[in-house]
């Protein structure tokens, strides 16, 4: 994976270095819901059920597409509702509203709505100046018809490698999450201040399409343009190829580029995960973990590495770079999930950490397990030899 990221950054920086920031675009789509209650709440100890005020539309989804340029200029957001036809509500002019059967972006909608309206709304679009647009691997973004439509607009399409969007795609790195938080805040204000409309039977009506589109418009305007500019630098897409601006990369990306991922501890990796909403109390500090940390957990569940020195920890993390190595699970580590570059999956008091090379197939798991067992054996012998306490399952 580090090689994939380095190669992509090299290509990206060579191309963006000869193009002005106002002609460099990135966009992403993010799912939203008409009801957005929080995942946690407060109540008296011992309460088994906590009522949550909603309109019952927490499963009704719509999609928002956010795009902007490396200069910080924002493109009009697109809202895609799950409808057969566009609603007849009065919508703001700075937002594009579309309808789709599954409230999702498709190739034809990409061409007819996003490219023809949002992309053409960018400054100097009439002259079709040569530019670059960064997209992920979604089929609606890399369809041949979509590529041709981008070429007509003078845009060269660069596809971000799969599994790296959380590192290299600006909206995915630090735009989607604050945008969702802003939308949730507006929904909470709307439902808490008694602005809800009721049906004849006394049930709450969901927010109107017009109101939701206003939330999208206002929330998008609140995102600072300076943040958008810095994000292109933080993801390394628009930095100078000579390396003079590498200090502007995010810590996570710079560690990969400089090939020093072994220096990152596990807590930093946890903090770097943008898409996981994990409570701090649920995440174990594995650097300071001992067998007495959890009195309610069996010895089998407590079987894990205990990091006794920095060198020991760095050697283990170095091994993680090429294979997944830590799996705190009661049994059957073959069930470990292999998706993305890295990730955390929480299952009650069990957790799993995995980090694998890009493209690792399940067929290689058995071989990896044998190497893992041998690695554990070597570390155990070394630990006993030096008087360390090293526990393995």
Long-range CB contact pairs, 181-187, < 8 A, 24+? 182/219, 182/222, 183/32, 183/36, 183/215, 183/216, 183/219, 184/36, 184/38, 186/215, 186/218, 186/219, 187/35, 187/36, 187/215
Tell me what pLDDT residue 320 has: 45
> Do residues 55 and 95 lie in contact, with contact meaning Cβ atoms separated by under 8 Å?
no
The DSSP output letter for 63 is E
List the pLDDT tens digit at each of the 393 positions of the chain: 678 898 999 999 999 999 999 999 999 999 999 988 876 665 666 666 666 677 878 889 999 999 999 999 999 999 999 999 999 888 999 999 999 988 989 999 999 999 999 999 888 887 778 899 999 989 999 999 999 999 999 999 999 998 889 899 999 998 999 999 999 999 988 888 767 777 777 678 889 999 999 999 999 999 999 999 999 999 999 999 998 998 999 888 888 887 654 433 444 444 443 333 333 322 233 233 333 333 333 333 333 333 334 444 444 444 443 333 333 332 333 333 333 333 333 333 233 333 333 333 334 445 555 665 666 666 566 555 555 444 443
Helix/strand/coil percentages in the chain, nearest 5: 40, 15, 45
Distance CA 64, CA 58 (A): 16
Cα-Cα-Cα-Cα dihedral sign, residues 20, 160, 319, 347 = positive
Cα 367 to Cα 111: distance, rounded to the nearest angstrom: 45
CATH class label, 2-254: alpha beta
Q: Which residues of 233-269 are buried (b: 16+ CB within 10 A; e: fewer)?
A: bbbbbbbeeeeeebebbbebbebbbeeebbebbbeeb
User: Chain-centre distance of CA 371, in angstroms?
Assistant: 31
Do 33 and 74 contact (CB within 8 A), yes or no? no
Residue 222: per-residue pLDDT: 95
Q: Report the relative pairing of strands 96-100 and 78-82 from DSSP bridges.
A: parallel
Phi first, then psi: give them for residue 24, nearest 5 degrees: -115, 125
* 8 A C-beta contact, residue 208 and residue 89: yes
Check if the beta carbon of residue 166 is closer than 8 Å to that of residue 342: no
Q: How far is CA 368 from CA 325, 331, 338, 360, in A?
A: 9, 16, 12, 10
pLDDT, position 36: 85
What the block records as the tokens of 3 is: 């090689």
Torsion of CA 270, 272, 275, 281, to 10 degrees: 30
With both helix axes pointing from N to C terminus, report the angle between 176-192 and 209-222 in degrees, rounded to the nearest 10.
130
Instruction: Classify strands 327-328 and 131-135 as parallel, antiparallel or unpaired.
Output: unpaired
**pTM of this prediction exceeds 0.75:** no
Distance of CA 362 to CAs 4, 163, 335, 339, 359, Å?
20, 16, 10, 10, 10
Q: Could you tell me if 308 and 383 are in contact, meaning their C-beta atoms sit under 8 angstroms apart?
A: yes
| Strand pairing category for 24-33 and 78-82 | unpaired
pLDDT value of residue 252: 84
Q: Are 5 and 256 in contact (CB under 8 A)?
A: yes
Per domain, the residue ranges of the chain are 2-254, 260-385
């Amino acid at each position: 994976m580090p090689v994939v990221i380095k190669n992509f950054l090299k290509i990206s920086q060579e191309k963006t270095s000869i193009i002005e920031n106002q002609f460099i675009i990135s966009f992403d789509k993010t799912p939203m819901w008409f009801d957005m209650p929080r995942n946690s709440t407060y109540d008296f100890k011992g309460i088994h059920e906590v009522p949550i005020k909603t309109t019952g539309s927490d499963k009704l989804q719509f999609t928002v597409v956010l795009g902007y340029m490396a200069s910080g200029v924002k493109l009009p957001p697109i809202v895609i509702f799950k409808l057969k036809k566009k609603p007849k509500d009065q919508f703001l002019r700075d937002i594009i509203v579309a309808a789709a059967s599954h409230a999702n972006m498709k190739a034809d909608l990409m061409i007819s709505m996003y490219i023809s309206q949002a992309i053409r709304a960018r400054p100097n679009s009439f002259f079709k100046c040569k530019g670059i647009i960064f997209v992920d691997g979604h089929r609606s973004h890399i369809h041949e018809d979509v590529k041709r439509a981008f070429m007509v607009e003078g845009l060269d399409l660069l596809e971000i490698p799969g599994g790296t969007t959380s590192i290299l795609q600006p909206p995915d790195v630090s735009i989607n999450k604050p945008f969702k938080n802003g939308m949730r805040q507006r929904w909470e204000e709307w439902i808490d201040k008694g602005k809800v409309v009721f049906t004849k039977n006394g049930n709450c009506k969901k927010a109107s399409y017009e109101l939701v589109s206003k939330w999208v418009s206002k929330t998008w305007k609140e995102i600072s343009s300076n943040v958008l500019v810095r994000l292109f630098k933080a993801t390394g897409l628009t930095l100078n190829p000579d390396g003079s601006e590498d200090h502007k990369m995010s810590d996570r990306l710079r560690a990969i580029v400089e090939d020093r991922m072994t220096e990152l501890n596990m807590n930093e990796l946890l903090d770097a995960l943008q898409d996981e909403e994990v409570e701090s109390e649920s995440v174990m500090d594995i650097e300071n973990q001992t067998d007495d940390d959890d009195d309610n957990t069996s010895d089998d569940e407590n079987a894990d590495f205990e990091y006794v020195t920095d060198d020991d920890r760095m050697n283990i993390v170095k091994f993680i770079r090429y294979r997944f190595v830590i799996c705190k699970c009661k049994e059957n580590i073959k069930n470990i999930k292999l998706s993305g570059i890295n990730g955390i999956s929480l299952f009650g008091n069990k957790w799993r950490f995995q980090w694998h090379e890009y493209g690792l197939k399940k067929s290689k798991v058995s071989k990896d397990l044998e190497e893992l067992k041998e690695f554990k054996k070597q570390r155990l012998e070394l630990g006993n030899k030096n008087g360390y306490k090293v526990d393995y399952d």
